[in-house]
Structures are given as C-alpha cells and as structure tokens.
Structure 1
Amino acid sequence: MAYYIIKVLISAILIVAISEISKRSSLVGSIFASIPLLSLMAFVWMHIDTKDVHKIADLSSGIFWLVIPSLSFFILFPVLLRKGMNFYLSLTLSTLVMVLFYFGMIYLLKRCGVNL
C-alpha cells in the first residue's frame, strides 16, 4: 500500500511542479510538459512491478502511434482560445476532436495491420 501512495505522490508532485513552473515561464513549463514524464514514469513503474520488457515495449509503441492524434489537441486548443472562445468550451471541443482523431488513428492502424 505504501508503494502505491509513493507512486501517486511522485506523480502528483510532478504535475503540480510543471503547473507552478508554467506560471513563471511558459517556455520552461512547455519544455517540461513536452517531456513524456508520464510515459517515463509508467515505464519505470511497470519495470519495477513486472520486469516485463515486452509489455513496456508494447506500451512505448502504442504511445508513439497515439501521440500523433493527440497533437490535434495542441493545434486546435490555442486557436480556439485566441479566437476568443470560452476556456472550458475550447478545452471540451479540442478534447472531443482529439478523441475522434484517436478513433481514426486506431482504425487506420488496424487496417494497416498494426495492433495496439
């Protein structure tokens, strides 16, 4: 149980730290946020928990393919905000578009014989 609490605390601390850094410098915050910290932490936690390098490799490959549709969020979200759209509406619409792109990417990958 203590191990899970430590995992949650470390993960939460990193998220809060990036948020606080971003308040001071959007460039530095962007750099830290663009580093795949969650993916790196997932790899470490999986290695500690299972030592199964094949599952870690599968996760890494899946992340690669699904980063592509996630970029739609980072294109659309700032555009909507700069056009004066409400923050929460921009966030919601950008997320919905991203989810649609995820489904599209998964469909395309399956058609190409790539199984995630």
Structure 2
Amino acid sequence: MGYYIAKVAITAVLVVLITEISKRSSFVGAVIASIPLTSVLAMLWLYIDTGDAGKVSELATSVFWLVLPSLALFIALPLLLAKGVNFYLGLVVSIGITAICYWLMVTVLHHYDLEL
C-alpha cells in the first residue's frame, strides 16, 4: 500500500511543481511539462511492477502514436483563446477536437493493422 501512495505522491508533486513554476515562467514550466515525465514515470512504475520490458516497449510505442493527436489540443486552445472564446469553453472544445483526433489516429492505425 505504501508503494502505491508513493507513486501517487511523486506524480502529484510533479504536476504541482510544474504549475507553480509556470506561475513564475511559462517558458520554464512549458519546458518541464513538455518533457514526458508522466510517460517516463508510467514506464518506470510498469517496469518495477512487472519486470517486463516488453510491456514497457508496448507502452512507449503506444504513447508515441498517441502524442501526435494530442498536439491538437495545443493548437486548438491557443487559437480559440486568441479569438476571445471563454477559457472553459475553449478547453472543452479543444478536448473534443483532441478526442476526435485520437479516434482518427486509432482508426488509421487499425486500418494498417497497428494495434495499440
């Protein structure tokens, strides 16, 4: 149980740290946030839990393919905000666009027999 609490605590601390740094410098916050810390932690926890490098490899490959459609959020949100759209509405619309992009990516990958 202590192990799971440690995993949650470390992951939460990183998110809070990035938020606090971003208040002072959006650039430094963005640099830290753009490092795939969550993915690295997930791969680390998965390997520690299973000892299976194959599972880690599968996760890393899936993350690679799904990073591409996730970029839609980082394109849509700033464009919507620049157009004067309310932050919360812009965030919801951007998440919706991103969800559609995820669906498209999974559909295209499935068409080429690449299963995530």
Report how many residues are paired: 116
For residue 83 of structure 1, report the CA deviation from its aligned partner. Answer: 1.0
In 2, Cα distance between the equivalents of 1:81 and 1:23? 18
Gaps of 5+ in 2: none
Partner of 1:2: 2
Structure 1 runs, 4 residues or longer, greater than 3 Å off? none
2:56 is the counterpart of 1:56: yes
Gaps of 5+ in 1: none
In 2, Cα distance between the equivalents of 1:50 and 1:57? 13
Partner of 1:19: 19
In 2, Cα distance between the equivalents of 1:12 and 1:68? 25
In 1, Cα distance between the equivalents of 2:47 and 2:107? 29
Residues 1-116 of structure 1 aligned to structure 2 (within 5 Å) = 1-116=1-116
Residue aligned with 1:115, SS: coil
Paired residue type of 2:71: L
For residue 79 of structure 1, report the CA deviation from its aligned partner. Answer: 0.6
Residue aligned with 1:84, SS: coil
In 2, Cα distance between the equivalents of 1:19 and 1:82? 22
For residue 82 of structure 1, report the CA deviation from its aligned partner. Answer: 1.1
